[in-house]
Structure 1
Amino acid sequence: MGELVFIHNNQPVTDSLTIAEVFGKDHGNVLKDIRKQIEYAGPDFGRVNFYESTYTNSQNKQMPKFDLTEEAFVLVAMSYNTKEAVRMKIRFIQEFKRMREQLAEINKPSYMIDDPIERAKKWIEEQKEKQKLKTENLVLTQQVNEMQPKASYYDMILQNKSLLSVTKIAKDYGMSARAMNAKLHELGVQYKQGDIWLLYAKYQDKGYTQTTTHVIDADKARVSTKWTQKGRLFIYELLKNEGILPIIERDQEGEAS
């Protein structure tokens, strides 16, 4: 038998498989009991206390199961009234209490931790989370502004769905992506937040970029900023004013001279 209670979505829960095993019941019957209680309790209670999921059985098939909060567990186990069942309910309730205390300890803010080493570790975790949220908020702000470019006839002509990485644009100038990003930063166009370059607010609603998210797996995703054709022309004009021309125009100037 595994743990009676475990953490799911930052709260203590048990599941229908554990209930079936502990109370000596068929899992199919436990599922019927759960669905009956969901029907009786109503959708509002059911939505926040019963979480339907799946597990892989011995035949390697995906089968239904439920995760239950303490309130949901008490509701379902209420009808299990044998002497042994009552003892098991007490064990579950004690385990829910223990898990809540453990979760509260895990989530305790750094300033409340007495041990200096553990306090420092927690503080570092908090700062990483704050930095992550800050980056996500800044990316979201840029994405919202990118969706609201100022319309003009010029914009209509330049509408083009093809997007370019900074690497591609930099190649036109014989530069590396690192050098191009640094130059755009130097010229006050963009700044680096975490691992991503973001436009300063005054450029975000011009239609120069589109921020995209590439999902790597269930836990990881990479956010990147791609340039539109309009953004490419903006960079061209910007760098031209700095005396920096794309390779093809340098070649043309050389031939003319």
Structure 2
Amino acid sequence: MNDLVIMKDQQAVTSSLQVAETFNKEHKNIIRDIEHLLESDSSVLSSQIFLKSTHENRGKQYPMYYMNRDGFTLLAMGFTGKKALRFKMQYIEAFNKMEEQIKTGGFKIPSTMAEALRLAADQQEQLEVMKPKAIFADSVATSHTTILVGDLAKIIKGNGVDTGARRLFQWMRDNGYLIKRKGADYNSPTQKSMDLGLFKIKESSHVNSDGVTVVTKTPKVTGKGQQYFINKFLENNSVISR
């Protein structure tokens, strides 16, 4: 019974699919009833209380309708019974709530200057909190593969944390995510990092000038790792020191 009413084109509407599900009717019958209303009176068609659209099911497109409060009222007039009445009342409540949110922008209208000032302050605080979260979430959402530590540094720097590849490597070593002791495993992920699934290791080989095959291991940050480190800096509002 969630989302009985949604906002579409700045208007509170429901869909024929939702109506069919709520009132336990076949969708094809709801479509039939709507089209009968459209055909029976030209004023219904011209009023645009029903908007034809499509929905996808198993790769195929099928017709559906969006309808505003007037369209729903006209359609539901023929639904009878105690259950139908209860569902109609729930729809009326849902329409009222959505239309109120559209009218007020989702906020209670302040009645005093003090309430208005408090509302403005709360909104600004929420914007400041949500802004970095949204930016970081968008950055990670586009990363479906492993990336280099240097690339992660660019994402972090581009979203307000002052860092670079060298400083991020140093921070990871200092905080136990990469091995800091000099040697063959230098800058490799620690066991803790591997257990957390933060890195994968890319191995590559080349023949040096002495004809010796050299194997190199490059740490790459997984999608889980990107989210993990970004959340670290987001929570602390960190500036990675030089």
- What TM-score do you get using the length of structure 1 for normalisation? 0.42
Length-normalised TM-score, structure 2: 0.44
